[in-house]
Amino acid sequence: MIQNERRARSSGPDVLIVDDEDDIRELLELTLLRLGLASDGAATLAEARGLLAEKRYRLCLTDMRLPDGDGLELVRHIAENIGDLPVAVITAFGSMDNAVTALKAGAFDYLSKPVSIDQLRALVKSVFSGPAKEDAGRKDTSSLIGESQAMVQVRSLIEKLSRSQAPVFISGESGSGKERATRMIHELGPRAAAPFVAVNCGAIPENLMESEFFGARKGAFTGADSDREGFFQAAHGGTLFLDEVGDLPLPMQVKLLRAIQEKKFRRLGDTVETTVDVRILSATHQNLKAMVEAARFRQDLFYRLNVIELRMPALRERSEDIPALAETLLARLAESSGLPVARLGADAVKALVSYSFPGNVRELENILERALALSSGSEIRADDLLLDPADMGEASPATPTTQGGAHLQDFLDEVERHAIEEALEKSGGNRTAAARALGVTFRSLRYRLERLGMKEWGRARWRGGGGGSSGSSRFGAITIPGLPGKPSKTTPCASRRAVFGAGRSCGSPTRPSAWRPSWCWRPWGPPCW
Protein backbone atom coordinates (compact mmCIF):
# COMPACT_ATOMS: atom_id res chain seq x y z
CA MET A 1 0.00 0.00 0.00
CA ILE A 2 2.83 2.35 0.86
CA GLN A 3 4.54 1.68 -2.44
CA ASN A 4 1.37 2.36 -4.46
CA GLU A 5 0.62 5.59 -2.62
CA ARG A 6 4.21 6.71 -3.02
CA ARG A 7 4.22 6.17 -6.77
CA ALA A 8 0.95 8.04 -7.04
CA ARG A 9 2.33 11.13 -5.40
CA SER A 10 5.88 11.19 -6.79
CA SER A 11 7.51 10.34 -10.06
CA GLY A 12 10.59 8.91 -8.40
CA PRO A 13 12.24 8.31 -5.03
CA ASP A 14 13.51 11.37 -3.19
CA VAL A 15 14.93 9.75 -0.05
CA LEU A 16 16.89 6.58 0.64
CA ILE A 17 16.22 5.08 4.10
CA VAL A 18 18.85 2.63 5.36
CA ASP A 19 17.84 0.68 8.48
CA ASP A 20 17.72 -3.03 9.29
CA GLU A 21 14.50 -2.69 11.32
CA ASP A 22 11.41 -3.00 9.10
CA ASP A 23 9.10 -1.09 11.44
CA ILE A 24 11.43 1.93 11.60
CA ARG A 25 11.81 2.03 7.81
CA GLU A 26 8.04 1.84 7.38
CA LEU A 27 7.47 4.60 9.95
CA LEU A 28 9.96 6.87 8.20
CA GLU A 29 8.43 6.10 4.81
CA LEU A 30 4.94 7.04 6.06
CA THR A 31 6.23 10.23 7.64
CA LEU A 32 8.05 11.27 4.49
CA LEU A 33 5.00 10.39 2.42
CA ARG A 34 2.93 12.86 4.45
CA LEU A 35 5.53 15.46 3.54
CA GLY A 36 5.07 14.64 -0.14
CA LEU A 37 8.33 12.73 -0.52
CA ALA A 38 8.81 9.26 -2.02
CA SER A 39 11.42 6.93 -0.58
CA ASP A 40 13.26 3.66 -1.04
CA GLY A 41 14.35 1.36 1.77
CA ALA A 42 17.49 -0.70 2.31
CA ALA A 43 18.25 -3.08 5.17
CA THR A 44 21.99 -3.48 4.62
CA LEU A 45 25.02 -1.49 3.59
CA ALA A 46 25.43 -3.55 0.41
CA GLU A 47 21.81 -3.00 -0.59
CA ALA A 48 22.16 0.74 -0.03
CA ARG A 49 25.26 0.91 -2.22
CA GLY A 50 23.41 -0.96 -4.97
CA LEU A 51 20.47 1.49 -4.89
CA LEU A 52 22.83 4.49 -4.87
CA ALA A 53 24.53 3.12 -7.99
CA GLU A 54 21.19 2.74 -9.79
CA LYS A 55 19.22 5.82 -8.72
CA ARG A 56 19.80 9.43 -7.79
CA TYR A 57 18.37 10.59 -4.46
CA ARG A 58 18.08 13.98 -2.81
CA LEU A 59 18.51 12.79 0.78
CA CYS A 60 19.81 9.69 2.58
CA LEU A 61 18.81 8.64 6.10
CA THR A 62 20.95 5.89 7.60
CA ASP A 63 21.14 4.11 10.92
CA MET A 64 24.55 3.89 12.57
CA ARG A 65 24.36 0.12 13.13
CA LEU A 66 23.82 -2.15 10.13
CA PRO A 67 24.21 -5.93 9.79
CA ASP A 68 27.18 -5.73 7.40
CA GLY A 69 28.82 -2.51 8.58
CA ASP A 70 27.97 0.86 10.08
CA GLY A 71 26.51 4.12 8.89
CA LEU A 72 29.92 5.83 8.87
CA GLU A 73 31.01 3.60 6.00
CA LEU A 74 27.99 4.74 3.99
CA VAL A 75 28.68 8.39 4.89
CA ARG A 76 32.26 8.10 3.61
CA HIS A 77 31.12 6.19 0.50
CA ILE A 78 28.67 8.95 -0.41
CA ALA A 79 31.20 11.71 0.37
CA GLU A 80 33.74 10.09 -1.96
CA ASN A 81 31.42 9.09 -4.81
CA ILE A 82 28.30 11.29 -4.57
CA GLY A 83 29.51 14.53 -3.11
CA ASP A 84 26.27 16.51 -3.44
CA LEU A 85 23.98 14.00 -1.64
CA PRO A 86 23.20 15.07 1.95
CA VAL A 87 23.32 12.23 4.50
CA ALA A 88 21.69 12.28 7.93
CA VAL A 89 22.58 9.60 10.47
CA ILE A 90 20.14 8.16 13.00
CA THR A 91 21.79 7.54 16.36
CA ALA A 92 20.62 5.94 19.58
CA PHE A 93 19.48 8.31 22.32
CA GLY A 94 22.43 9.81 24.14
CA SER A 95 25.02 8.65 21.56
CA MET A 96 26.26 12.10 20.71
CA ASP A 97 29.80 10.85 20.19
CA ASN A 98 28.55 8.84 17.20
CA ALA A 99 26.74 11.88 15.85
CA VAL A 100 29.83 14.08 16.15
CA THR A 101 31.97 11.43 14.46
CA ALA A 102 29.47 11.21 11.60
CA LEU A 103 29.41 14.99 11.18
CA LYS A 104 33.20 15.05 11.02
CA ALA A 105 33.07 12.32 8.37
CA GLY A 106 30.79 14.46 6.17
CA ALA A 107 27.23 13.84 7.39
CA PHE A 108 24.73 16.62 6.76
CA ASP A 109 22.93 16.29 10.10
CA TYR A 110 21.78 13.72 12.64
CA LEU A 111 18.54 12.45 14.23
CA SER A 112 18.23 10.83 17.66
CA LYS A 113 16.07 7.77 18.36
CA PRO A 114 13.18 7.79 18.88
CA VAL A 115 12.95 10.00 15.79
CA SER A 116 10.94 13.13 16.44
CA ILE A 117 8.50 14.06 13.68
CA ASP A 118 9.29 17.74 14.24
CA GLN A 119 13.03 17.14 13.91
CA LEU A 120 12.54 15.06 10.77
CA ARG A 121 10.33 17.74 9.26
CA ALA A 122 12.93 20.41 10.08
CA LEU A 123 15.67 18.27 8.56
CA VAL A 124 13.71 17.72 5.36
CA LYS A 125 12.94 21.43 5.15
CA SER A 126 16.64 22.28 5.51
CA VAL A 127 17.57 19.91 2.70
CA PHE A 128 14.85 20.71 0.20
CA SER A 129 14.70 24.48 0.61
CA GLY A 130 17.78 26.17 -0.80
CA PRO A 131 18.77 29.86 -0.82
CA ALA A 132 16.94 32.15 -3.18
CA LYS A 133 18.81 32.44 -6.45
CA GLU A 134 17.95 36.09 -6.86
CA ASP A 135 19.82 36.86 -3.63
CA ALA A 136 22.93 34.94 -4.59
CA GLY A 137 24.76 37.89 -6.05
CA ARG A 138 23.82 40.45 -3.40
CA LYS A 139 26.12 39.36 -0.60
CA ASP A 140 28.70 41.64 0.96
CA THR A 141 31.91 39.60 0.89
CA SER A 142 34.46 42.40 1.02
CA SER A 143 36.45 40.83 3.85
CA LEU A 144 36.76 37.62 1.88
CA ILE A 145 38.31 39.30 -1.15
CA GLY A 146 41.73 38.09 -2.13
CA GLU A 147 43.55 35.63 -4.30
CA SER A 148 46.10 34.53 -1.74
CA GLN A 149 46.29 30.83 -1.09
CA ALA A 150 44.90 31.31 2.40
CA MET A 151 41.75 33.07 1.16
CA VAL A 152 41.21 30.64 -1.70
CA GLN A 153 41.22 27.81 0.84
CA VAL A 154 38.86 29.71 3.16
CA ARG A 155 36.30 30.36 0.40
CA SER A 156 36.49 26.73 -0.75
CA LEU A 157 35.90 25.46 2.78
CA ILE A 158 33.01 27.88 3.30
CA GLU A 159 31.27 26.50 0.22
CA LYS A 160 31.60 22.97 1.58
CA LEU A 161 30.47 23.94 5.08
CA SER A 162 27.40 25.73 3.76
CA ARG A 163 26.01 22.41 2.50
CA SER A 164 26.22 20.82 5.96
CA GLN A 165 24.38 21.34 9.23
CA ALA A 166 27.40 20.45 11.36
CA PRO A 167 28.48 22.98 14.02
CA VAL A 168 31.42 25.08 12.84
CA PHE A 169 33.98 26.82 15.04
CA ILE A 170 35.68 29.85 13.47
CA SER A 171 39.01 30.81 14.99
CA GLY A 172 41.17 33.80 14.26
CA GLU A 173 42.32 37.14 15.55
CA SER A 174 39.92 39.95 16.31
CA GLY A 175 38.88 41.77 13.15
CA SER A 176 39.93 38.96 10.79
CA GLY A 177 36.40 38.49 9.40
CA LYS A 178 34.96 35.69 11.54
CA GLU A 179 31.41 37.06 11.56
CA ARG A 180 31.59 37.72 7.82
CA ALA A 181 32.53 34.09 7.28
CA THR A 182 29.61 32.87 9.38
CA ARG A 183 27.15 35.03 7.45
CA MET A 184 28.50 33.63 4.20
CA ILE A 185 28.08 30.05 5.48
CA HIS A 186 24.47 30.91 6.36
CA GLU A 187 23.67 32.72 3.11
CA LEU A 188 25.10 30.01 0.88
CA GLY A 189 23.27 27.22 2.69
CA PRO A 190 19.71 25.90 2.78
CA ARG A 191 18.86 28.14 5.76
CA ALA A 192 19.50 31.38 3.87
CA ALA A 193 15.86 32.46 3.98
CA ALA A 194 15.63 31.83 7.75
CA PRO A 195 16.93 34.13 10.51
CA PHE A 196 20.60 34.67 11.24
CA VAL A 197 21.02 35.64 14.91
CA ALA A 198 24.45 36.87 16.04
CA VAL A 199 25.12 36.96 19.79
CA ASN A 200 28.13 38.51 21.51
CA CYS A 201 28.48 36.22 24.53
CA GLY A 202 30.85 38.63 26.26
CA ALA A 203 28.33 41.49 26.23
CA ILE A 204 25.57 39.73 28.21
CA PRO A 205 25.50 40.04 32.02
CA GLU A 206 25.84 36.64 33.67
CA ASN A 207 22.57 36.96 35.62
CA LEU A 208 20.63 37.57 32.38
CA MET A 209 22.22 34.91 30.20
CA GLU A 210 19.67 32.14 30.70
CA SER A 211 16.69 34.37 29.94
CA GLU A 212 18.48 35.93 26.95
CA PHE A 213 19.32 32.57 25.40
CA PHE A 214 16.19 30.58 26.25
CA GLY A 215 13.53 33.20 26.94
CA ALA A 216 11.15 33.46 29.89
CA ARG A 217 7.47 33.12 30.64
CA LYS A 218 5.43 35.93 32.12
CA GLY A 219 6.02 36.12 35.87
CA ALA A 220 9.18 33.98 35.81
CA PHE A 221 11.06 36.76 37.63
CA THR A 222 10.58 40.32 38.74
CA GLY A 223 10.03 42.47 35.68
CA ALA A 224 8.92 39.63 33.40
CA ASP A 225 5.54 41.17 32.58
CA SER A 226 5.11 39.21 29.32
CA ASP A 227 6.31 36.08 27.55
CA ARG A 228 9.70 36.65 25.99
CA GLU A 229 11.53 34.57 23.42
CA GLY A 230 15.27 34.00 23.60
CA PHE A 231 18.00 33.73 21.02
CA PHE A 232 17.27 30.07 20.30
CA GLN A 233 13.63 30.75 19.49
CA ALA A 234 14.54 33.81 17.44
CA ALA A 235 16.93 31.71 15.34
CA HIS A 236 14.50 28.78 14.88
CA GLY A 237 14.92 27.32 11.41
CA GLY A 238 18.05 29.41 10.83
CA THR A 239 21.51 29.96 12.26
CA LEU A 240 22.65 31.01 15.74
CA PHE A 241 26.11 32.56 15.80
CA LEU A 242 27.82 32.58 19.21
CA ASP A 243 30.56 35.18 18.99
CA GLU A 244 33.24 35.24 21.70
CA VAL A 245 31.92 31.95 23.04
CA GLY A 246 35.00 31.71 25.28
CA ASP A 247 33.46 34.40 27.52
CA LEU A 248 30.57 32.15 28.58
CA PRO A 249 30.62 31.32 32.31
CA LEU A 250 30.79 27.63 33.25
CA PRO A 251 27.17 27.35 34.54
CA MET A 252 25.86 28.67 31.24
CA GLN A 253 28.11 26.31 29.31
CA VAL A 254 26.30 23.34 30.88
CA LYS A 255 22.88 24.61 29.81
CA LEU A 256 24.08 25.49 26.33
CA LEU A 257 25.58 22.02 25.90
CA ARG A 258 22.24 20.30 26.53
CA ALA A 259 20.38 22.65 24.18
CA ILE A 260 22.87 21.86 21.40
CA GLN A 261 22.88 18.10 22.03
CA GLU A 262 19.17 17.49 22.47
CA LYS A 263 17.91 20.39 20.33
CA LYS A 264 15.57 21.21 23.20
CA PHE A 265 15.46 23.83 25.94
CA ARG A 266 13.18 25.03 28.72
CA ARG A 267 12.27 28.70 29.14
CA LEU A 268 12.55 30.28 32.55
CA GLY A 269 9.32 29.66 34.40
CA ASP A 270 8.16 26.99 31.94
CA THR A 271 7.47 23.35 32.77
CA VAL A 272 7.70 21.91 29.25
CA GLU A 273 10.59 21.76 26.84
CA THR A 274 10.60 23.48 23.48
CA THR A 275 12.09 21.77 20.43
CA VAL A 276 14.25 24.03 18.33
CA ASP A 277 15.93 23.70 14.94
CA VAL A 278 19.04 25.86 14.72
CA ARG A 279 22.50 25.50 13.27
CA ILE A 280 25.23 26.54 15.69
CA LEU A 281 28.22 28.55 14.52
CA SER A 282 30.70 29.88 17.07
CA ALA A 283 33.83 31.97 17.16
CA THR A 284 36.35 33.47 19.55
CA HIS A 285 39.75 35.14 19.43
CA GLN A 286 40.83 33.14 22.49
CA ASN A 287 42.57 29.77 22.49
CA LEU A 288 39.77 27.43 23.53
CA LYS A 289 42.07 24.40 23.74
CA ALA A 290 44.21 26.20 26.31
CA MET A 291 41.05 27.25 28.16
CA VAL A 292 39.92 23.61 28.26
CA GLU A 293 43.29 22.54 29.67
CA ALA A 294 43.03 25.30 32.27
CA ALA A 295 39.49 24.10 33.20
CA ARG A 296 37.96 27.43 32.15
CA PHE A 297 35.93 25.89 29.31
CA ARG A 298 34.09 22.59 29.29
CA GLN A 299 35.75 19.94 27.18
CA ASP A 300 32.45 18.33 26.14
CA LEU A 301 31.07 21.67 24.95
CA PHE A 302 34.29 22.38 23.07
CA TYR A 303 33.97 19.14 21.10
CA ARG A 304 30.30 19.83 20.33
CA LEU A 305 31.11 23.29 18.97
CA ASN A 306 34.37 22.37 17.26
CA VAL A 307 33.05 19.61 15.00
CA ILE A 308 34.62 21.44 12.05
CA GLU A 309 37.11 24.30 12.47
CA LEU A 310 37.55 27.19 10.07
CA ARG A 311 40.59 29.37 10.72
CA MET A 312 40.47 32.92 9.40
CA PRO A 313 43.98 34.12 8.49
CA ALA A 314 45.29 37.39 9.88
CA LEU A 315 45.63 40.21 7.35
CA ARG A 316 49.43 40.26 7.72
CA GLU A 317 49.45 36.61 6.60
CA ARG A 318 47.90 37.60 3.28
CA SER A 319 49.50 40.97 2.62
CA GLU A 320 49.20 40.44 -1.15
CA ASP A 321 45.42 40.86 -0.79
CA ILE A 322 45.68 44.28 0.88
CA PRO A 323 45.63 46.47 -2.30
CA ALA A 324 42.50 44.85 -3.75
CA LEU A 325 40.78 44.79 -0.35
CA ALA A 326 41.65 48.45 0.26
CA GLU A 327 40.16 49.50 -3.10
CA THR A 328 36.92 47.68 -2.34
CA LEU A 329 36.66 49.24 1.09
CA LEU A 330 37.42 52.72 -0.26
CA ALA A 331 34.64 52.40 -2.83
CA ARG A 332 32.17 51.34 -0.17
CA LEU A 333 33.22 54.12 2.21
CA ALA A 334 32.94 56.75 -0.52
CA GLU A 335 29.47 55.54 -1.42
CA SER A 336 28.23 55.63 2.17
CA SER A 337 29.70 59.09 2.84
CA GLY A 338 28.75 60.64 -0.47
CA LEU A 339 32.35 61.51 -1.30
CA PRO A 340 34.12 60.83 -4.60
CA VAL A 341 36.08 57.60 -4.76
CA ALA A 342 39.72 58.16 -3.82
CA ARG A 343 42.61 56.07 -4.98
CA LEU A 344 45.69 54.97 -3.12
CA GLY A 345 49.05 56.40 -4.08
CA ALA A 346 52.01 54.10 -4.63
CA ASP A 347 53.59 55.16 -1.32
CA ALA A 348 50.30 54.52 0.51
CA VAL A 349 50.02 51.01 -0.96
CA LYS A 350 53.62 50.28 0.04
CA ALA A 351 52.96 51.52 3.57
CA LEU A 352 49.81 49.43 3.95
CA VAL A 353 51.51 46.27 2.70
CA SER A 354 54.36 46.72 5.20
CA TYR A 355 52.00 47.45 8.11
CA SER A 356 51.32 44.60 10.59
CA PHE A 357 47.60 45.35 11.13
CA PRO A 358 47.11 44.12 14.70
CA GLY A 359 43.40 44.88 14.24
CA ASN A 360 43.22 43.10 10.84
CA VAL A 361 40.47 44.01 8.33
CA ARG A 362 38.55 46.08 10.86
CA GLU A 363 41.63 48.24 11.45
CA LEU A 364 42.22 48.59 7.71
CA GLU A 365 38.69 49.91 7.25
CA ASN A 366 39.15 52.41 10.09
CA ILE A 367 42.48 53.60 8.67
CA LEU A 368 40.98 54.13 5.22
CA GLU A 369 37.95 55.93 6.62
CA ARG A 370 40.22 58.31 8.51
CA ALA A 371 42.50 58.81 5.49
CA LEU A 372 39.52 59.52 3.25
CA ALA A 373 38.48 62.32 5.58
CA LEU A 374 42.00 63.77 5.93
CA SER A 375 43.18 63.59 2.31
CA SER A 376 43.11 66.88 0.44
CA GLY A 377 42.83 65.50 -3.08
CA SER A 378 41.61 62.47 -4.97
CA GLU A 379 44.72 60.49 -4.02
CA ILE A 380 45.51 59.13 -0.57
CA ARG A 381 49.17 59.48 0.33
CA ALA A 382 51.15 57.56 2.95
CA ASP A 383 51.08 60.60 5.26
CA ASP A 384 47.27 60.54 5.22
CA LEU A 385 47.20 57.04 6.69
CA LEU A 386 48.76 58.05 10.03
CA LEU A 387 50.11 54.55 10.62
CA ASP A 388 51.78 53.69 13.92
CA PRO A 389 55.55 53.47 13.28
CA ALA A 390 55.83 50.77 15.92
CA ASP A 391 53.77 48.43 13.73
CA MET A 392 55.60 49.11 10.47
CA GLY A 393 57.76 46.53 8.80
CA GLU A 394 55.95 43.59 10.43
CA ALA A 395 53.62 42.48 7.69
CA SER A 396 55.61 39.30 7.34
CA PRO A 397 56.84 38.54 10.85
CA ALA A 398 59.88 36.40 11.31
CA THR A 399 58.77 32.83 11.67
CA PRO A 400 60.94 29.76 12.24
CA THR A 401 61.31 27.78 9.06
CA THR A 402 62.06 24.15 8.39
CA GLN A 403 65.56 23.22 7.44
CA GLY A 404 66.55 20.69 4.86
CA GLY A 405 62.99 19.83 3.91
CA ALA A 406 62.08 18.51 7.36
CA HIS A 407 58.60 17.15 7.90
CA LEU A 408 56.11 19.59 9.39
CA GLN A 409 55.49 17.50 12.51
CA ASP A 410 59.22 17.23 13.20
CA PHE A 411 59.54 20.96 12.86
CA LEU A 412 56.61 21.61 15.20
CA ASP A 413 57.99 19.12 17.71
CA GLU A 414 61.32 20.94 17.72
CA VAL A 415 59.61 24.30 18.33
CA GLU A 416 57.55 22.77 21.17
CA ARG A 417 60.64 21.10 22.64
CA HIS A 418 62.52 24.40 22.65
CA ALA A 419 59.64 26.21 24.39
CA ILE A 420 59.35 23.53 27.08
CA GLU A 421 63.11 23.49 27.65
CA GLU A 422 63.17 27.26 28.08
CA ALA A 423 60.21 27.19 30.51
CA LEU A 424 61.83 24.44 32.60
CA GLU A 425 65.11 26.30 32.77
CA LYS A 426 63.40 29.54 33.84
CA SER A 427 61.41 27.72 36.53
CA GLY A 428 64.45 25.92 37.88
CA GLY A 429 63.02 22.57 36.84
CA ASN A 430 59.68 23.10 38.56
CA ARG A 431 57.26 21.44 36.16
CA THR A 432 54.18 22.98 37.78
CA ALA A 433 55.59 26.48 37.33
CA ALA A 434 56.73 25.63 33.80
CA ALA A 435 53.24 24.42 32.89
CA ARG A 436 51.78 27.63 34.28
CA ALA A 437 54.20 29.73 32.23
CA LEU A 438 53.35 27.77 29.08
CA GLY A 439 49.60 28.16 29.66
CA VAL A 440 48.93 24.42 29.90
CA THR A 441 47.97 22.02 32.68
CA PHE A 442 50.51 19.94 34.55
CA ARG A 443 49.04 16.80 33.01
CA SER A 444 49.37 18.29 29.52
CA LEU A 445 53.01 19.17 30.13
CA ARG A 446 53.75 15.67 31.42
CA TYR A 447 52.17 14.19 28.29
CA ARG A 448 54.29 16.43 26.07
CA LEU A 449 57.46 15.54 27.95
CA GLU A 450 56.78 11.86 27.34
CA ARG A 451 55.81 12.34 23.70
CA LEU A 452 58.90 14.40 22.90
CA GLY A 453 61.29 12.06 24.68
CA MET A 454 61.94 14.63 27.41
CA LYS A 455 60.74 12.49 30.30
CA GLU A 456 64.18 12.32 31.91
CA TRP A 457 64.67 16.03 31.43
CA GLY A 458 61.47 16.81 33.20
CA ARG A 459 62.14 14.45 36.09
CA ALA A 460 65.88 14.95 36.36
CA ARG A 461 67.61 16.10 39.48
CA TRP A 462 70.83 18.06 39.79
CA ARG A 463 73.43 15.62 41.01
CA GLY A 464 76.53 16.25 43.03
CA GLY A 465 79.78 15.07 41.62
CA GLY A 466 82.30 14.50 44.37
CA GLY A 467 82.97 15.24 47.94
CA GLY A 468 85.55 17.94 48.45
CA SER A 469 86.35 19.50 51.79
CA SER A 470 85.27 23.06 51.37
CA GLY A 471 83.68 25.60 49.06
CA SER A 472 82.22 24.42 45.82
CA SER A 473 84.43 21.37 45.66
CA ARG A 474 82.88 20.10 48.87
CA PHE A 475 79.47 19.82 47.36
CA GLY A 476 80.54 18.71 43.91
CA ALA A 477 78.81 19.88 40.76
CA ILE A 478 75.26 20.11 39.47
CA THR A 479 74.57 18.21 36.24
CA ILE A 480 71.58 18.92 34.01
CA PRO A 481 70.86 16.05 31.58
CA GLY A 482 70.92 17.26 28.01
CA LEU A 483 68.20 16.98 25.40
CA PRO A 484 68.68 15.01 22.15
CA GLY A 485 71.36 16.86 20.24
CA LYS A 486 72.22 19.11 23.23
CA PRO A 487 75.10 18.48 25.69
CA SER A 488 74.63 18.12 29.42
CA LYS A 489 75.40 21.16 31.54
CA THR A 490 77.64 20.95 34.63
CA THR A 491 77.79 23.80 37.14
CA PRO A 492 79.80 23.94 40.37
CA CYS A 493 77.69 23.98 43.52
CA ALA A 494 77.93 26.68 46.12
CA SER A 495 78.32 25.67 49.73
CA ARG A 496 75.36 24.43 51.69
CA ARG A 497 75.45 27.58 53.79
CA ALA A 498 75.54 29.79 50.70
CA VAL A 499 72.58 28.03 49.15
CA PHE A 500 70.34 27.68 52.18
CA GLY A 501 71.69 29.94 54.83
CA ALA A 502 72.95 28.75 58.16
CA GLY A 503 71.51 25.52 59.47
CA ARG A 504 69.33 24.66 56.42
CA SER A 505 69.58 21.49 54.40
CA CYS A 506 67.88 19.80 51.48
CA GLY A 507 66.05 17.60 53.94
CA SER A 508 64.75 14.06 54.15
CA PRO A 509 61.93 12.45 52.12
CA THR A 510 59.46 13.63 54.76
CA ARG A 511 60.52 17.26 54.67
CA PRO A 512 58.44 19.74 52.67
CA SER A 513 59.68 20.86 49.26
CA ALA A 514 60.24 24.34 50.65
CA TRP A 515 63.35 22.98 52.35
CA ARG A 516 64.89 21.99 49.03
CA PRO A 517 66.87 24.34 46.82
CA SER A 518 65.10 26.07 43.97
CA TRP A 519 67.04 24.00 41.48
CA CYS A 520 66.15 20.65 43.10
CA TRP A 521 63.97 18.82 40.57
CA ARG A 522 63.22 15.85 42.78
CA PRO A 523 60.24 16.45 45.08
CA TRP A 524 60.72 13.07 46.81
CA GLY A 525 63.44 10.67 47.96
CA PRO A 526 66.91 11.43 49.31
CA PRO A 527 68.57 14.82 49.07
CA CYS A 528 69.50 16.03 45.60
CA TRP A 529 73.27 15.93 46.07
- Is the pLDDT higher at 209 or at 10? 209
pLDDT tens digits, 107-137: 888 888 888 787 788 888 878 865 544 444 4
Q: Under a CB-based contact definition with an 8 Å cutoff, are residues 170 and 310 in contact?
A: yes
The secondary structure element, H or E, covering residue 254 is helix 250-262
**373 or 465, higher pLDDT:** 373
Q: Give me the torsion for CA of 262, 268, 274, 278, rounded to 10°.
A: -60
For 192-222, write each residue's pLDDT tens digit: 889 999 999 999 998 889 989 998 887 666 6
Instruction: In the chain, list all ranges with CATH 3.40.50.2300.
Output: 2-128
Contact 121, 326 (CB under 8 A): no
Name the segment(s) of the chain with CATH classification 3.40.50.300: 141-311
Regarding the domain delimited by 141-311, which CATH topology (the fold level of the hierarchy) does it fall under? Rossmann fold (3.40.50)
Q: Residue 57: helix, strand or coil by DSSP?
A: coil
Query: What does the pLDDT look like over 148-187, one tens digit per residue?
Result: 898 999 998 898 888 888 899 999 988 888 999 999 999 9
Distance, in Å, from the CA atom of 283 to the CA atom of 200, rounded to the nearest integer, reads 10
| Phi, psi for residue 405 in degrees, rounded to 5 | 70, 35
Count CB-CB contacts under 10 A for residue 375. Answer: 19
pLDDT band at 501 (very low <50, low <70, confident <90, very high): very low
Element of type H or E holding 490? strand 489-492
Q: Give yes or no for residue 414 having a pLDDT over 70.
A: yes
The winner for highest mean pLDDT among 67-76, 391-400, 462-471, 473-482 is 67-76
Which of 245, 276, 246, 248 is closest to 260 using CA atoms? 276
Q: What is the rounded distance in angstroms from the CA atom of residue 475 to the CA atom of residue 498? A: 11
* CATH fold of the domain at 326-391: Helicase, Ruva Protein; domain 3 (1.10.8)
Its CATH class, for the domain covering 2-128, is alpha beta
Share of the chain above pLDDT 90, in %: 26
